[in-house]
Structure 1
Amino acid sequence: MGHAELQTRRYTAEEYFALEAASEVRHEYFDGEIFAMAGASKSHNLLAQNVASGLRGGLRGKGCQVFMEDVRLVVKENNHYAYPDVLVSCDPDDRRDPYLVRQLVLIVEVLSPSTAEYDRTEKFAQYQKLPSLRHYLLVSQTAWVVEWFRRDEVGQWIYTLLSEPTDVLEIPDLGLHLPLAELYDDTDVAPLRVAPLAQ
Structure 2
Amino acid sequence: MPAQPDYTRRYTVEEYFALEEASDIRHEYYHGEIFPLDGPDGPEAKAGGTKRHNRLVQNCVVALRLALRGKGCDIFSENVRLAINEADHYNYPDVVVTCSPADRQDPRIVRYPSVIVEVLSASTEAHDRGWKFQQYQALPSLQHYVLVSQRRRLIEWYSRSDSGTWILASVRELDEAVTLSALDISLPVADLYENVETGPEEGPVLLRLPD
TM-score by length of 1: 0.89
Deviations 1:110-169, CA, capped at 9 Å, x for gaps: 011111100100010000000000000011010001110000111010000212343211
Q: Which amino acid is 1:8 matched to?
A: T
Query: Residue 52 of structure 2 aligns with which residue?
Result: 43
State the partner residue of 1:154.
163
Return the offset for 1:10: 1.3
1:13 — aligned with what? 13
> Does residue 85 of the first structure (1) align with residue 74 of the second (2)?
no
CA distance in 2, matches of 1:58, 1:191: 31
Is 179-188 or 31-40 further displaced after alignment?
31-40
Q: 1:191 & 1:134 partners in 2: Cα distance?
A: 31
Q: Is the alpha carbon distance of 1:71 and 1:159 closer, same or farther for their aligned partners in structure 2, counting shifts above 3 Å?
A: same
Q: Secondary structure at the match of 1:149?
A: strand
Which residue in 1 is equivalent to 2:191? 182
Secondary structure in 2 aligned to 1:53? helix
- Identify the match of residue 96 of structure 1 among 105, 109, 114: 105
C-alpha distance in 1, partners of 2:181/2:134?
25
How far residue 78 of structure 1 moved from its aligned partner, in angstroms, is: 2.3
Q: Provide, for residues 82-109 of structure 1, a one-character-per-residue CA deviation record: whole Å limited to 9, x for no partner.
A: 1000000000010011111101100000
Instruction: Please report how far the alpha carbon of residue 60 of structure 1 lies from its aligned counterpart in structure 2 after TM superposition.
Output: 1.3
Match of 1:196 in 2: none
Partner of 1:34: 34
Q: Distance in 1 between matches of 2:118 and 2:28?
A: 14
Question: CA 1:144/1:6 → structure 2, altered by over 3 Å: closer, same or farther?
Answer: farther
Letter in 2 for 1:117: A
**What does residue 57 of structure 1 align with?**
66
Are 2:175 and 1:166 aligned? yes
1:24 and 2:33 aligned: no
Read off the aligned partner of 1:13 and give its amino acid letter: V
Q: What letter is aligned with 2:31?
A: D
CA distance in 2, matches of 1:76, 1:34: 15
- SS of the aligned residue for 1:147 comes to strand
1:38 shift after superposition: 2.5
CA distance in 2, matches of 1:82, 1:7: 16
Matched, 1:111 2:120: yes
* TM-score, length basis structure 2: 0.84
Identify if the C-alpha distance between structure 1 residues 159 and 191 changes in structure 2 by more than 3 Å, giving closer, same or farther: farther
Displacement of 1:6 in angstroms is: 6.4
Say whether the 8 Å CA contact 1:135–1:148 is kept in structure 2: yes
Runs (5+) with no aligned partner, structure 2: 45-49, 202-211
- Report if the CA contact (8 A) 2:143-2:182 is conserved: no
C-alpha RMSD of matched pairs (Å): 1.9
Q: Does 1:70 align with 2:79?
A: yes
**2:151 corresponds to which of 128, 134, 142:** 142
Identity %, equivalent residues: 52
In 1, distance between residues paired with 2:71 and 2:179? 17
Which amino acid letter does the alignment assign opposite residue 59 of structure 1? L
Aligned residue pairs, count: 188
Q: CA deviation at 1:176?
A: 3.1
